[in-house]
Amino acid sequence: MAEKLAPDTRAAALTELSGTGWAETPGRDAIAKTFRFANFVEAFGWMTRVAIWAEKWNHHPEWRNVYATVEVTLSTHDAAGLTELDVKLAKKMDALST
């Protein structure tokens, strides 16, 4: 099982991910980002591609889609906090969105 990130690893990951729009979720050991697409088909197509990786890695996002917007929160429920899996999925989401 993935373990919560050590403080220095966590800080470095947050610094890196803040460069692409990820931010810490207030009051919770999680990160969040809002993705905006051209339309619903683009948004849902991206969600579908992300879902395949999420299933492959057995690590799933909390997300909410309204038309062309997808609000994402990442945290590892089994660890009650951020792990390397969240960082990996965040980077995959970014890569698939460009």
Ligand X SMILES: C[C@H](O)[C@H](O)[C@H]1CNC2=NC(N)=NC(=O)C2=N1
Q: How many CA atoms lie within 13 A of 31 on its CB side?
A: 26
Q: Based on CB atoms, which residue is closest to ligand X, 43 or 72?
A: 72
Q: How many residues bind ligand X (CB under 6 A)?
A: 6
Q: Is 60 in the site for ligand X (CB under 6 A)?
A: yes
In sequence order, the 6+-apart residues with CB closer than 8 A to the CB of 38 are 68
In sequence order, the 6+-apart residues with CB closer than 8 A to the CB of 72 are 32, 33, 34, 35, 61, 62, 63, 93
Q: Is 77 in the site for ligand X (CB under 6 A)?
A: yes
Among 3, 16, 55, 78, binds ligand X (CB under 6 A): 78
Among 30, 32, 76, 87, binds ligand X (CB under 6 A): 76
Q: Is 33 in the site for ligand X (CB under 6 A)?
A: no
Helix (H, G, I), strand (E, B) or coil at 63: strand
Q: Interface with ligand X by CB under 6 A: which residues? A: 58-60, 76-78
